[in-house]
Each structure stands twice: as C-alpha cells, then as structure tokens.
Structure 1
Amino acid sequence: MKHSVILRLSLALVLFSLCGNLSAQKGELSVIPIPTEYEIGEGQFVIDEHTVLYADPSEAEVTHIAEGFQQQLRMVTGMLLPVMPLEDFEDQQNTVVFQLMPYEELGAEGYQLEVTPDHILIQANKPAGLFYAVQTLYQLLPPEVVENEVVRAVNWVVPAVNITDVPAYKWRGLHLDTGRHISSIDFIKKYLDQMAAHKLNTFHWHLTEDQGWRLQINKYPLLTEVGPYRDSTLVGHYGTGKYDGKRYGGYYTQDEAREIVAYAKDRYITVIPEIEMPGHATAAVASYPQLGNTDKPVKTVTTWGVFPDIFNVEESTFDFLEDVLVEVLDIFPSKYIHIGGDEAPKDQWEDSERIQFKIDSLGLKDEHELQSYFITRIEKFLNSKGRQIIGWDEILEGGLAPNAAVMSWRGEEGGIAAAKDAHYVVMSPGSHLYFDHGQGDPDQEPLNIGGYLPLEKVYSYKPTPDALSDEEAKYIMGAQANVWTEYLPNSDSREYMVFPRISALAEVVWSGEDHKDWESFQKRIPQQLKRYELQDINYSSTIYNVEIRAKYDEKSKVFNVELYPQWEGTVHYTLDGSTPTVASHVYEKPLKLKAGTTVKAGLFADSELKGSITSETMTTPQPKN
C-alpha cells in the first residue's frame, strides 16, 4: 500500500542527505530556479499510455494539482492518463504519485521529487509544495510540454533525479502597473501563468495612478466614469511635448478583479492590490474634486512624472478612502494591502491654510509628520479589518506607522532602517529590480524609461543586506521586481522587459544566495528561452548582444575598444560598415580604432547569429570647459 511509498522515499532521503550539496559534481539540471539540493540519477522515466497518476481523493487540492498535470499532458500528448485513488497504489511501476507528508522542514512551499525509471514520486508538506514540484517536472520534460496542442514525434521522458527544494524567501514578487497603461485580463492571466512557472507567489497589482483609476468602486461611480480616462497620451520620451490626441482608458470591474484573484489563487499566488495615497491621486481628485486641496479644475494626467494633486486630510476624505478600502477588502483577501505612500509632493499642503491649521491642531511638526499621520490612520482602519499595510519606503518619512511593512525601492537604505526597527520588508531597489529599465544598447532597444539593467545584474542581487544582523535579517520577507508601464503600452513591450529577467529574479528569491551560480544559469537559459518561444512570449534576446566598450586615449588619439560578449560563442566584427557574418574577423583582443570608424559586432554559435548586431561609431569626445 502507500506505506511502501513512504518507506522508499525515506530511504532515498537518507542516501540523499549523505550526498550533501554534491549537485555540481553530479551534472547539470536544466531547471530555473535551480533546486536547493539535487542529485542526478541514472536512466529516465517514460510517460506513455500505460502511465497512471495517483492522488488522495480526500485531499481536494492534491487531486486538483494531479488533474492539472493530467490535463496538460493530455493537451500535448493526446493521452488521458487516469488519476487513481492513492489507497489503491500497490507499488506498481510506471506511476506518478502525488502525496502530502508531514515533512515540517519543507515548510509551506517546499517539496521532494524523486524520479526513477519506475516512478515519479512527488511529496510535500502542503499542496503549494506539490504545485511547485509540478513546475519543476514540466521543466524536466521536453520543452514542448508547455504548448497548447498535441505535439508529435516527442519522447515524453523525465531524467532520473532526486530533488529536495525549499524557497529562500516567502515573498517572491512581481509587480504590474496598470495605471499608466491598462493590461487585458488575458494578459494578466498569462503573466500569472509565467509567475507560477517561475515559482513566484506574490502579484502586486498597481491599480490607481495620476493617469488612470482602474478599479470599479460601486459607492463612487465617477471613479470609473471620469477617473480611468485621459484625453491624450505622451508620444516618445518625457519632455518631447508631443501627444497622440487620442482618448485612452479603461478599468476592471469588480467581477474581473475577483476573476484574477481566483485565477492567481489556483496558482498559489497572492494578489496584493495597490491603492495609492496620499500622492498619485490626480485621477481620483479629477473624479471627486473635494478630495483635493485647491479650487482649480483637475484632469486625469496625460504625461508621466510626479504631480502636485494629492489627497487632503478632511474627515470626508478619510471616509472616502475607508469606503474604497471596504470594497477593495471584499475583493482581495490578501493579508497586505499596498497603500503607495511614495512621491507625494507637499506643495499643496504647504500652501493650504486648512492643512496648516490641521498640522497645528494635531501638534505635528511639518508635512512629513502629517503624511505619517495620514498613513497611520489608514493603517489603524485596515488593522481593524484584520489586514496589514505595506507601502513604498517614503512611508518612513515623518515616522513609520506602528505595524507597517516597507517596500524599499530607493536603494536598500529604507529597507535596512525598517528591518532594524523590527518592521517587515520587501526589497525592490530600482538599481536591480526595475524591469522597465533598458537591458541593451539604447540605440537598438525599444522605447523605455532609460537606465541599464542587464540580466547578470538582476541575477547578482542579494535581498538580505550584509548590514543586518541575523535577528534583523528575519524581517526581510523577500524581494520583488517592478514593471512600470509609462513606456510599455502593449503586451509585447511588457513581455520584452520582463523576459528573461524574470528567470534571474526567480533564482534570486527561490534558490537564494547559497545556491546561485551565474555560469550554471547561463547554461540553463537557452532551454528556458525555448520554452518562451513555444509559448509566444516576446522575450528580449539582448543577452546575446555584444557590448562595445570604447575608451578614448587623449595622448594617442585612438580608441581602445573591447567587444564584450555576455554569452558563450564567437564574436565576429567588421570595420567597413558591412554586417558581420561567420566569415568576418574573429575578435581576439582589444582593437585600436581611429575617430570616425564604425565597428559592428555579433555573437555567433554554430554558425548562427545570436541576438542582434551592435554597432558604434568612434566619436572624439568634446573638450570640457
């Protein structure tokens, strides 16, 4: 019976514990994020029409996970494998077993996966662990398993392996700004699918902005009659002064939001809604001017940046915000509610006699303390409803609300300060985790906000700062990447910025510092890109582009030029303006070039160009005044 399953795994675990962390000597496992411990075995498990799945029918979530695996296999193989009750298991061969076991060391999300030529055994302490084991199993199968139609001429085999895998952090997040540009429900579901495949578990849904209010609030209909729409949208970079003249907007009904919450829950993802306050409130103030601080008419913003219209601190405004949050809480069951708190200019508060009177009457020192008062009031309200607040690190200014968690985006300083003060923290620094930043040659990249965040820099991030003691480090819940959409107007542009950097993020927050290995990651990425291709994901291939690093030597009047490949392969280059091919010069050492020379370079592997050709013309620097 099923006791034999338990015994067999127990023996396997004893053997595995003796192996320690010998995975590097046991071969490469093409899985992202890399499991924390694994040992590659001999042989492979073959999935065929005789394979049987087993799950405990009394455990609804376990059965649901097994049936999800069953249906995906049916989609790509055409075979409907039976799901049988676990109590009927008699140690047969050609079986896949899903089982909950009281392995406390695995926590809520860890799992153990044993693959032999005879069976696949998946065990976890909680259903989430079984779900993540299945995500690993998909990556062990041929990449075609991710397709949505029957695939012929594929051998559905899984290499023998023994895995114990536990996440490094409990908050493994990805954000999506739907305020600047709205995303379709279908895109958000695809986003969640990929989050699950990368073992991310927190979707931060940015729902309100100066440029648009995106969530239906029944008590305040103008929020979705006025707030979601702007008269025009900036064309090109900020400061061009060009606009498209087209009305833009949209919002999510409460039913649609609930649909997303349910879809995410099915993938063990928590949705954290963000309702911005007191800043980034222009769309709300445009809808209900009494929420603002001036008598001037306000319209939903058509460009990007930080804007002066923030909420006032009248009792009626707090009533409004509490009413909004009551409806938000009814949709989103998450422990945390994100209240923004960032980029709230204080100019209107400084100029308002009513605000200044309020500051004096409350005995506050300045507008920063008033913002702290504002956030603390909202926190008390949410605490009374059994929820906690989380906000951007500006909520530290003027004093942090008693139970608030901090999302540190302006570097790590805010997160460090909060953790030292015993507040929970999610690290999200712009330097490493802002996926709206460019990732390649600016001349070749699609329009973006700027900056430079290549894959390797994302991978290098360490969420727990060395500045924290072991006790303080316990307050670091994890990390999150943010996807701001000022310059990402459609699905393709968002996918381009997220993929493959999401793979690096996954390894940062799941595998953790002790198990990351950049060289190993480089070897595993091509298989991941293949999966992206099969799912029609518009990923960036800039990881294959050659960086051209030129330094001008004032004395010799020449440029010392290095052609730096980010990936394995051969760099071919030209200096005559032609496009490099495999017959072009092979780069072996730095070049010395004169002003006016154009170098073009490309990375080749197996006679095939990887990524794009990069080019740069040597231009003599202008003398400094």
Structure 2
Amino acid sequence: MNTKLLICLAFIFCFPLVVSAQQTNIDIIPRPTKSLLQEGQLSLAAPLNLYYVAEFSEVKDLILNIQGIQIGEQELVKKLKKQHSNGIRLFKAMDFDHIPEAGYLLEIDGSGVLIKAHNPSGMISGVQSLLQLTLLNKGQHLPFARIEDSPRFPYRGLHLDVSRNFMPFTFLKKYIDLMALYKFNHFHWHLTDGAGWRLEIKKYPELTQKAAWRTHSTWKDWWNNGRQYVDQGSPNASGGYYTQEQARELVAYAAKRGIQIIPEIEMPAHSEEVLAVYPELSCTGKPYTQGELCLGNEGTYTFLKNVLDEVMTIFPSTYIHIGGDEADKSHWKTCPKCQALKQKEGLKSEEELQSYAVRQMDKYLQSKGRKLIGWDEILQGGLSEGATVMSWRGEKGGIEAANAGHDVIMTPGGYLYFDTYQTDPRTQPEALGGFVPLEKVYSYDPIPEDIAEDKRKHILGAQANVWTEYMNTYQHVEYMAFPRALALSEVVWTSPENKSWKDFKKRLQSHYPVLQKLEVNYYRPSYNVISTVAYDSLQAKNTVTFASEQFVPNIKYTIDGSDPNASSTTYNLPIELAKTATVKAASFLDSTRVSPIETVELDMHKAIGKEVIYNRPWEGYPAQGKSTLTNGTKGGLSYQDGQWQGFINNFDVTVDFERREEIASVALRFMQVPGPGVYFPGEFKVQVSDNGKTYRDLGTVINQVGTTDPALKFQVFTVKPNKPVMARYIRIKATNPMKGYLFADEIVIY
C-alpha cells in the first residue's frame, strides 16, 4: 500500500474529522474580551483524549459532564510530550501567553481543544465557555476559534431568598449550574427571615422544628392571615429546611463550579421566626410582638455567636452576611436592657445601638478569619473597618461606603431587583412592583461617577437579588431571573467598551434554545408593542416610536384611530405628527395579530408649556420638576421613568394661562399599583378663576376603583362642563385618602 496513504488513514483514525459544511455559532454570553471565529469546525462524533495538569484535576471533571463531548483516554500530564498536542488539553498559562490572572485562553482547531489559565477559577471560566459552545452548536461540532477572556469584576453574584418561599434542594443545584454557565462566582443564599428559618442549627433545634414551618404555603397568604408558625408535622405545616449535610453538599457542588456560597443569617431585624420560638431574646419577652432582637440582652449575642459557629463549619466563604436592614427601632427605645446598654456604651441613638451590635458580630467574625457583609443600613451609626456593604437602596450607600474606604457590592433595586416586573405589569403574575426590563439591567454600570477615582477599586462588583414573596415555585424563580441574569452576567464580566445592547440582543437569540434545552422556564420575549412619545416644544410636534421585545418585530399601525390589521402600514421609522391624534399599533406574525393593540393618545393641548404653580410640592419623585405636568410627555409603565411626579399629601396645583382662555375639558392621568403603595386619588376636583384668588367649581370626579386588586392600572380623571368657560387660572385638586403615593403625569386641557 502507498506509504502516503497509510499516513493519511492513520491521521483520520487518530484525530477527529474536521468539518466545514455546518453553520457555526460563537455567541457566548457574557461577551469575551476577544473572540476570533476561524475557518473550519471540529467534529464531536469521535472521542477526544483528555490531558490535564495537576492543578486542574478537579476542573477536568466538568469536562466529563459536557453532553456531546466524548472522552477517550484521560491522562494527568507531568511533562509535556508530542501526544499532548492533540485532544482536549487543560494546561497552565505561561508568561508568554499574556493571559490575565483571572482569565483564560480557549483555542479550538484541527488538533482539538486547548484551554490555558493561571488558576482553577480561570480554567473553570474557560470550560464554561466550551460548554456554551457545545450547547450553541447542539453538541455536533465546535467552531474553530480563539477566545481570550477575563472578567471586569471579581464579584459576580446572584441571590436567592428561600425564606419567603422554600425551594427544592435539586433546584438549588440547577440554579448553581446556570450561574456557572454564565460565569457568576458568588451565590448569596438568603437562609433566614421572618417567613421561615431554613438551615439546621443543632444547638437550637426549634429553629427547624417550628420556625421553619408556617400556617400557609404561600408567603402572601401567610402574611395576610396572622403570620403564625406551627410545629413540623402539623396538618397545616408548610415550609422546610436544609440539613447541614445538604448545605455542605451544595457548598462542594458550587465550589467545583467556581462559585462561593455566602450564607445570610438575618440580624438584628427580620427575626420574627426566631423570636416566636425563643421569645426571651426579644425586648418584650413575648412571641409575636416584634421582629427585632433585643440588643441589650447578652443572650442575644450568645445565640448569634452559637449560630454563626455552626454556620462557619458549613460555609468556608470569606463573607458571612448578617442582613442588618429595615430594623424597627421602636422597641429598643422603650426597652430597659437596650437603654442600659446604650447608656453604658455612651451611645447617642438607636442607630448607634444597632451599629454597636453589628460591630460586635464583625469582631467575632474577624476573630474567626471571616468578613462581615450587610445591607447598606449597616452604615448607620458608623461601620467597622473590615465590613463590606451591599448597596440596595439605590447607589447612595455604596458611594458613601466606597468613598470611606469600604468594599462595596452594588445591588440597587432600580436595576438589579429581579422580583420587579420585567414587562408590562398588566400582563404579568403579581410581583413586588417596580419595572426592570432586560435592557435596563444591561444598561447598568456598577461604578457610579460620584466615586473618587482612587476609591473605585472598592467596587468589587454587582449582584442581582431574587426575593421570593410572590414566587411560590422554582419555575416562577426561573421566570423572574432569566434572561435578566444573562444581561447582568455581561454587566459584571465584560468591559464597558466591549458591551453593546444591539449585539447582546442578537447573541441572546442563540441562548433561548439553550435555555429551552436546559428546561429553564425563562421569560419569553413579548410581542406586545411598546410606545415612546417625545414632544418637541420648538416644532410643536410629537414623535412616536414603536418597539417590541422581539428581535425583528413586525409592527403595523394606524393614525386614524382604527384598529391595525395585516394590511395596515408597516412600522419602520418613527412617526411625526403635529396634531391631536389616536395612533394604534400591534405585532403581527404573518397575517395574524399576536399582541394586544397599543393605543397612543397624542394631545396637542392648551396647557403644554404653561406654568404650573405647586400649592403643595411633590415629594420623593420630582420627575422633570416644575415642567413635568405640562411638558407634553406622558409617563410609561413605571413611576420611576422620570415622567411620573409623586405626591404623598393631597395633590393641589394651578395652571396659569397668563390670559383668559376657553376651557372645554381638564384631564389628568393617575397610576395605581397597591403593592408599593401607589393609589388613585379619592376625589378629583377642578376649579377656575380669572384673578387667581376667587375660584369657582368646574366639576368633581369621585374614584370608583377599589384598592384590593394588585394589578397596575391607569385612569384618566376628566372634568368636562356642559359648555366651555372662560378662565385664566385652572386649579386641580386630588385627595389622597390611602395616604400612599399619588403619581400624576400630564395635565391635558382643551
């Protein structure tokens, strides 16, 4: 036989076939620092040998679990030889590779797969990119590619609250797997809260015999019906807990995937479940009377230290989270023990009393070689040097802490609370409130401009929080967390100059099939049409923009008030109109309408640009200041969008036309979403005047909508007299009987 033919056959049988006919995909999320797609593909039809150095002995097991990759021989490499230049190789990075300390290099070519890194965490990231490529290419082949990559931040976190609604242990492993796939490296496990204690503590068995079990299966039902705990085994007992063995198993499972689990043991507040079974640790000495531990009671510190001792034997994490948020300090003010401690330590306030307690726990954790981390309320009253802050009430706490030299993890609710609505709340299961769509998550930058340049190193990264008050099942958790978690993964991994919303959205299309394959109940992109209206005061015209969450939307619209159909005008460019009009739009799939009709009322009304006199000022939500209510722009789905102005007291403003005008109708739109305390007014009244002193009633509207329905609602309150009247001043009043927030967006006067 021909010698050259023998060599050729030997090559074919020894190494996988290189194929090029199939389509390749390198749409990795988060986006790598550098990625180069090259000509050719590596077939996965034949087994690949696996070679690894000792440092990556644990990591190589992850390769064995990748479906689609068949492993032949496995070899621990002590000295590189010729045969080690083929197959899958997990090798130590060298100086000449120029790989960042936390980064990796991934090369796929005709010789197989080469991954280089300095340490296991970098190698794990490389392996997860390989896993993504396998999933993206359906386990049939791998594209020839070279990927150089490293993270922007050392802390890349996801949180999960298992107190409000207990989650199955098997789901926690799935959650960890998904985190690892998208290169998160910290899992913040919220184990205790008033709704249930979820970790076995052997010294205090009642924490899991009773404090882990409640009368109702869902948090909302329990919250609204007495908030009682029951013994395990009782007919109505609902809840659960994780044994220490399970927790250790999850810690090891996560560590193998490069993820550190940070346990959270709430203190001194959110401790109703503790005080129900150990009431002697409360200020009153009675169960069900408060949620805060008694800080003047030495037994409190003994209890907490004993609990933390067991927690630290389970969790080797650098950080131990102690909560520290939302403490009602009223009991401390009247408690003899708390006041005695306050006097003894020379503390001036209850904030300083809480700070004293936090410092005691911080000292204890530091004595055990650990670090304390807590929500930004731990800044109140002063913070010890080694403590780290999670900034959740916006960015202010994080900015303050970083500028003071404390390490910070950013978790602002306006961007990273995944218990908020991610699309039109009127179409979604009940959530806490708020509005954080995918694009808003992606837009977040964890380093605010207000942090001094030399202090920015204290921003360790960011984390999304998944509070489960309204998530009764793990499927609902998945629905709320994904794909928003993918957007966050790119925020914390990819440098800002490499980020692109347009490119991310394109790559995301490749990950929907991946999430389907992994049986993730992710939120599907909506066909609903989203409208944006911008008013140009100089040209007196409105520009209407339509979009949807679809990657390539097919939107039809009309401007005459009729419902759009398949033959209506296709939306391609923004619509400009200099007149009052009703614009309607909807999404179509082929010739079938697949979304509700979005209606946009364009009002070129008399009040646009007129001065508004605030007889009662706005509070908390200034929107566009004094121009908000007559700027020609209406608010959207969220009261945080900068167009809804917030009022805690009664609403009372006056519009000055500067001269007498004919007034035919006066209207104002309000929002209602009871969850966060936003309500319609009770009464809407309009008065007119010629001199700004003496007013006459134009009309009154009484609200007929109740407050029990948690859904988001909008209502236009309109006063229209039997015939037009002449007036210069229009005074608009609205009562606030619920004592929550009134949110108003645009006064419309014709």
TM-score (structure 1 length as normaliser):
0.83
Q: How does 1:487-502 map to 2 (within 5 A)?
A: 487-502=470-485
Offset from partner CA, 1:13-71 (integer Å, 9 cap, x none): xxxxxxxxxxxxxx994100011122222222222325322223xx1x52343343134
Q: What is the DSSP-based 3-state SS (H/G/I as helix, E as strand, rest coil) of the residue aligned with 1:262?
A: helix
Describe the shift of the 1:349–1:144 C-alpha distance in structure 2 as closer, same or farther (beyond 3 A).
same
Conserved in 1, the CA contact under 8 Å of 2:527 and 2:549? yes
Conserved in 2, the CA contact under 8 Å of 1:577 and 1:599? yes
Aligned alpha-carbon RMSD (Å): 3.4
Conserved in 1, the CA contact under 8 Å of 2:104 and 2:125? yes
For residue 595 of structure 2, what is the amino acid of its counterpart? I
Instruction: Give, in whole Å, the separation in 1 of the partners of 2:241 and 2:186.
Output: 22
1:96 to 88, 102, 108: 88
Counterpart of 1:252? Answer: 242
Instruction: Give, in whole Å, the separation in 2 of the partners of 1:527 and 1:508.
Output: 19
Alignment of 1:134 with 2:118, yes or no, is no
Describe the shift of the 1:220–1:107 C-alpha distance in structure 2 as closer, same or farther (beyond 3 A).
farther
Aligned residues: 571
Instruction: Give, in whole Å, the separation in 1 of the partners of 2:226 and 2:356.
Output: 39
Instruction: Give, in whole Å, the separation in 1 of the partners of 2:596 and 2:457.
Output: 44
Shift of 1:184: 0.8
Instruction: Give, in whole Å, the separation in 2 of the partners of 1:577 and 1:540.
Output: 32
Counterpart of 2:62? Answer: 68
Q: How does 1:394-409 map to 2 (within 5 A)?
A: 394-409=377-392
Counterpart of 2:487? Answer: 504
Describe the shift of the 1:40–1:247 C-alpha distance in structure 2 as closer, same or farther (beyond 3 A).
same
Q: What is the DSSP-based 3-state SS (H/G/I as helix, E as strand, rest coil) of the residue aligned with 1:514?
A: helix
Counterpart of 1:613? Answer: 595
Alignment of 1:541 with 2:524, yes or no, is yes
Counterpart of 2:512? Answer: 529
For residue 613 of structure 1, what is the amino acid of its counterpart? S
Larger Rg: 2
Which deviates further from its counterpart, 236-245 or 463-472?
Answer: 236-245
Shift of 1:477: 0.8
Counterpart of 2:320? Answer: 337
Conserved in 1, the CA contact under 8 Å of 2:359 and 2:384? yes
Shift of 1:293: 1.1
Shift of 1:616: 4.6
2:500 to 510, 514, 517: 517
Q: What is the DSSP-based 3-state SS (H/G/I as helix, E as strand, rest coil) of the residue aligned with 1:443?
A: helix
Describe the shift of the 1:80–1:548 C-alpha distance in structure 2 as closer, same or farther (beyond 3 A).
same
Which deviates further from its counterpart, 412-421 or 495-504?
Answer: 412-421
Describe the shift of the 1:32–1:272 C-alpha distance in structure 2 as closer, same or farther (beyond 3 A).
same
Describe the shift of the 1:596–1:41 C-alpha distance in structure 2 as closer, same or farther (beyond 3 A).
closer
Counterpart of 2:717? Answer: 622
Shift of 1:568: 3.4
Alignment of 1:277 with 2:267, yes or no, is yes
For residue 179 of structure 1, what is the amino acid of its counterpart? S
Conserved in 2, the CA contact under 8 Å of 1:279 and 1:309? yes
For residue 298 of structure 1, what is the amino acid of its counterpart? Y
Conserved in 2, the CA contact under 8 Å of 1:232 and 1:248? yes
Q: What is the DSSP-based 3-state SS (H/G/I as helix, E as strand, rest coil) of the residue aligned with 1:391?
A: strand
Shift of 1:205: 0.3
1:449 to 432, 435, 446: 432
Describe the shift of the 1:600–1:125 C-alpha distance in structure 2 as closer, same or farther (beyond 3 A).
same
Shift of 1:434: 0.5
Instruction: Give, in whole Å, the separation in 2 of the partners of 1:331 and 1:100.
Output: 31
Counterpart of 2:418? Answer: 435
Return 5+ residue gaps in structure 1 as ranges.
Answer: 1-26, 146-153, 300-306
Q: How does 1:311-390 map to 2 (within 5 A)?
A: 311-390=294-373
Instruction: Give, in whole Å, the separation in 1 of the partners of 2:336 and 2:376.
Output: 28
Q: What is the DSSP-based 3-state SS (H/G/I as helix, E as strand, rest coil) of the residue aligned with 1:451?
A: strand
Conserved in 1, the CA contact under 8 Å of 2:319 and 2:370? yes
Q: What is the DSSP-based 3-state SS (H/G/I as helix, E as strand, rest coil) of the residue aligned with 1:96?
A: strand
Counterpart of 1:119? Answer: 112
Conserved in 2, the CA contact under 8 Å of 1:98 and 1:122? yes
Instruction: Give, in whole Å, the separation in 2 of the partners of 1:67 and 1:323.
Output: 36
Q: What is the DSSP-based 3-state SS (H/G/I as helix, E as strand, rest coil) of the residue aligned with 1:204?
A: strand
Offset from partner CA, 1:66-111 (integer Å, 9 cap, x none): 34313424xx46x443223434741577522111124496455310
Shift of 1:139: 2.1
Conserved in 2, the CA contact under 8 Å of 1:198 and 1:506? yes
Instruction: Give, in whole Å, the separation in 1 of the partners of 2:335 and 2:422.
Output: 43
Alignment of 1:266 with 2:256, yes or no, is yes
Q: What is the DSSP-based 3-state SS (H/G/I as helix, E as strand, rest coil) of the residue aligned with 2:496?
A: coil
Shift of 1:210: 0.9
Describe the shift of the 1:50–1:375 C-alpha distance in structure 2 as closer, same or farther (beyond 3 A).
closer
Instruction: Give, in whole Å, the separation in 2 of the partners of 1:326 and 1:242.
Output: 33
For residue 601 of structure 1, what is the amino acid of its counterpart? A
For residue 279 of structure 1, what is the amino acid of its counterpart? A
Counterpart of 2:45? Answer: 48
Offset from partner CA, 1:476-509 (integer Å, 9 cap, x none): 1111000000001101110011100111111011
Describe the shift of the 1:89–1:446 C-alpha distance in structure 2 as closer, same or farther (beyond 3 A).
farther
Conserved in 2, the CA contact under 8 Å of 1:562 and 1:591? no
Compare relative contact order (CA 8 Å, sep 6+) and give the higher one, 1 or 2: 1
Shift of 1:566: 4.0
Alignment of 1:601 with 2:586, yes or no, is yes
Shift of 1:252: 1.0
Instruction: Give, in whole Å, the separation in 2 of the partners of 1:473 and 1:464.
Output: 7
Conserved in 2, the CA contact under 8 Å of 1:67 and 1:83? no
For residue 46 of structure 2, what is the amino acid of its counterpart? E
Q: How does 1:81-230 map to 2 (within 5 A)?
A: 81-86=72-77, 87=79, 89-90=81-82, 95-103=87-95, 106-143=99-136, 145=138, 156-230=140-214
Q: What is the DSSP-based 3-state SS (H/G/I as helix, E as strand, rest coil) of the residue aligned with 2:273?
A: helix
Which deviates further from its counterpart, 371-380 or 443-452?
Answer: 443-452
Instruction: Give, in whole Å, the separation in 1 of the partners of 2:194 and 2:223.
Output: 17
Instruction: Give, in whole Å, the separation in 1 of the partners of 2:238 and 2:598.
Output: 38
Describe the shift of the 1:537–1:46 C-alpha distance in structure 2 as closer, same or farther (beyond 3 A).
same
Shift of 1:559: 10
Conserved in 1, the CA contact under 8 Å of 2:447 and 2:459? yes
Alignment of 1:298 with 2:302, yes or no, is no
TM-score (structure 2 length as normaliser):
0.70
Shift of 1:243: 9.8
Instruction: Give, in whole Å, the separation in 2 of the partners of 1:284 and 1:491.
Output: 25
Instruction: Give, in whole Å, the separation in 1 of the partners of 2:258 and 2:575.
Output: 50
Instruction: Give, in whole Å, the separation in 2 of the partners of 1:242 and 1:326.
Output: 33
Instruction: Give, in whole Å, the separation in 2 of the partners of 1:357 and 1:346.
Output: 15
Larger helix percent: 1
Shift of 1:403: 1.2
Which deviates further from its counterpart, 186-195 or 413-422?
Answer: 413-422
